[in-house]
Every structure is written in structure tokens, then in C-alpha cells.
Amino acid sequence: MSLRQEVQPQQTVDGAILKPILTPTEDVASPQEARPKQHRGPLLYFALAGIVGATLAIPLIVPQSMEVKDDPNPIGYLLILFSFPVGGLIYRLRSRRWPIDGTVRHRQGMACFATLLLPITIALMTGMRAQGFHMTILSGLVSLVLIAGILVSGRRRGRNKA
């Protein structure tokens, strides 16, 4: 059964042949192509886990009363940092049935290099005896935690092969 109506070409006065546009028949529906699923990358899971970790850490970070002037609990900050590898693990669990993408290791290496580039550059520019050296060390620690989240996320990606 044909999906298009059969239409005969017509000849004009000057002898040219016009081929009309074929239209689909009304009784037969054209088959729809299956659209591939759109999958989100691990960055969304890092961000969502970071937001959830920050929300859970609020009672630990915010001082209980302003009169006592308590210092924030450092466990709250560690909870936020811990949430990035947890986001990578959640992505790894969600993507366990997806195909392995061969280009992921290269992109993960570039992302890890870019993540470490900022603290290394700051440390080289300010020197080891700089006033903000402790902030440089903390930014390096945050970069290492992000790198752990990137590497834990695995090599599976829901990409189109087309």
C-alpha cells in the first residue's frame, strides 16, 4: 500500500512537463521516527547534589546565636564538599545501562585539568609566602573534590551515535 496518492504529470502549452507535489493520503498515517532520549550530563547531578548538601549544611554553618558569636561548624562545609562525589555516584547509578562513550576519558581529563588550573595558577602567581596562601590551598582542596566527582561519574553517556 502506497503512502502517497498517485498523481499524473501534466503537460503545459509550451511542452514542459510539470510534476505535481505528492501529498500523503488521508487514510494512512505516516510512521513517526522514534526520537532518541535526551540525557543530562553529570554536571546537573553535581549541581543538584551540591544544592541539597548546602541545604542540609545550613544548620551547621549558620551560628546558633549572634550573642555567643559561635564559629560555624566545619562539618557543614565538609558536607557541601562531600556532596559533589555523591552527585557523581548518583549519575553513575542512573547511567549504568547507557552505552560507554569512548571520548569521555579525554573530556574528563580536560575538565580535571581546567579545574586544577585556577588554584595552580594562583599559587604560582602569588608565591608560597603570599598573604592568601591558605585560600589557595582551600581552592585546591575544592578542585580535588570536584575532580573526584568528575572521575566517579564514569564513562557512560547517553549520546546519539548519528
**Which pLDDT belongs to residue 151?**
92
In a domain, 24, yes or no: no
Single out the residue of 43, 149, 156 nearest to residue 88, CA to CA.
149
In a domain, 13, yes or no: no
Would you say the C-alpha torsion 83, 85, 89, 95 has a positive or negative sign? positive
32-65 confidence digits (pLDDT tens): 555 555 667 788 888 899 899 989 988 888 776 6
55-97 confidence digits (pLDDT tens): 998 888 877 666 666 677 788 888 889 999 999 999 999 888 8
Three-class SS of residue 104? Answer: helix
Tell me how far apart the alpha carbons of residues 20 and 109 are, in angstroms, rounded to a whole number. Answer: 56
Three-class SS of residue 85? Answer: helix
Three-class SS of residue 40? Answer: coil
Structural contact between residues 139 and 78, judged by C-beta atoms closer than 8 angstroms: no
In a domain, 37, yes or no: no
Number of structural domains in the chain: 1
Task: Compute the CA torsion angle 25, 27, 33, 39 (nearest 10 deg).
Answer: 130
Other CB atoms within 10 Å distance of the CB of residue 146: 20
In a domain, 121, yes or no: yes
pTM over 0.75: no
In a domain, 74, yes or no: yes
8-state DSSP, 24: B
Tell me how far apart the alpha carbons of residues 61 and 74 are, in angstroms, rounded to a whole number. Answer: 7
Structural contact between residues 53 and 86, judged by C-beta atoms closer than 8 angstroms: yes
> Domain range for residue 83?
42-152
Structural contact between residues 49 and 83, judged by C-beta atoms closer than 8 angstroms: yes
In a domain, 161, yes or no: no
In a domain, 134, yes or no: yes
